[in-house]
Amino acid sequence: IHLFGVLLAILGNLVISISLNIQKYSHLQLAQQEHPRPYFKSVLWWGGVLLMAVGETGNFAAYGFAPITLIAPLGCVSVTGSAIISVTFLKDNLRASDLLGMTLAFAGTYLLVNFAPNITQAISARTVQYYFVGWQFLIYVIFEILIFCILLYFYKRKGMKHMVILLTLVALLASLTVISVKAVSGMITFSMTDKMQLTYPIFYIMFIIMIASCVFQVKFLNQATKLYNTTRVVPVNHIFFTISAIIAGIIFYQEFLGAAFLTVFIYLFGCFLSFLGVFLVTRNREKEHLQQSYIDFGNIPDTTLGRKAWRETNVGQNTTRFK
């Protein structure tokens, strides 16, 4: 059943990669038109949005079948998959660092799948309630809230908008997101296979936590992408999110309980390889090549149209200076 969850997560991330590249392609087509339409009037762009919704649904369902510590690190598949698709279909440049990064990411994924905790637990409402009031989680939440408030104070009152502060806020919220996503997905799965769980209040508490934490994550992540280059934000966010999710899975769902030291070590080594792979794939890439939703398209440096516009802009600026 873990393998089914892994397949759902991998397929979901691959579909997300395809959707992002479809959105990118639709923007490229619109930019080459003499009178480009708004992107939201493009059927192709909406097709990409629909595929993204399908991919995220696959990711959501995966948490109902496999541990958090197995599903969360598989986000590297989306980054590497997006790079492969953009090279194959959008004719982006293939660099040596891309090949090395993809190889390391795939090797890390293999180790993660094989050495992640092999525990099978039915996520019922009573199970979630038991974990929710456990002393481990209560201490963890108090500690997390304290760190979050301190960072939010520096962010709001002191105006400190360093990338690490913003992405740490995102990661702290992400830990609550993955806990609640697994709880909601697990209870839905349990309802379909055994007994109805959607009548318990804990289901709706977790659902509210899931939505609220996602909304605030997007807010801080958008702030980070506005202030910093996406080539820096994407790998750091992937690392912070994965570490936060793993810690949440260990503390709330006790997923590494009774695991052997060697198993834990190889699992962490697999995480390190996937982190390094994502860093190499995203290193020195333009914003348009990274996996994100292309709402604000801006310049297109890797197309003939983009280069032409860039030259015309710079020639105009140089002529103005000469005059």
Distance CA 149, CA 232 (A): 25
List, for the chain, all residue ranges whose pLDDT scores fall below the cut of 70: 90, 285-323
Q: What is the model's pLDDT at position 41?
A: 76
Q: What is the model's pLDDT at position 231?
A: 73
Q: What is the model's pLDDT at position 94?
A: 78
Of 124, 131, 130, the closest CA to residue 250 belongs to 131
Q: What is the model's pLDDT at position 304?
A: 44
pLDDT tens sequence across 249-304: 999 998 888 888 999 999 999 999 999 999 988 887 654 444 443 333 333 344 44
Q: Give domain limits for the chain.
A: 1-121, 123-253
Q: State the greatest distance between any 2 C-alpha atoms of the chain, in Å, as a whole number.
A: 79
Q: What is the model's pLDDT at position 111?
A: 93
Residue entry with tokens 């759902």: 8
Give yes or no for a contact between 29 and 86, defined as CB atoms under 8 angstroms apart: no
Q: What is the model's pLDDT at position 53?
A: 87
Residue entry with tokens 């939010």: 152
Q: What is the model's pLDDT at position 223?
A: 86
Of 77, 108, 74, 92, the closest CA to residue 285 belongs to 92
Q: What is the model's pLDDT at position 216?
A: 92
Q: What is the model's pLDDT at position 286?
A: 55
DSSP state at residue 39: G
Q: What is the model's pLDDT at position 46?
A: 85
Q: What is the model's pLDDT at position 299?
A: 36
Distance CA 6, CA 71 (A): 7
Q: How far apart are the first and last CA of the chain?
A: 71
Q: What is the model's pLDDT at position 316?
A: 46
Q: What is the model's pLDDT at position 296?
A: 36
Q: What is the model's pLDDT at position 194?
A: 84
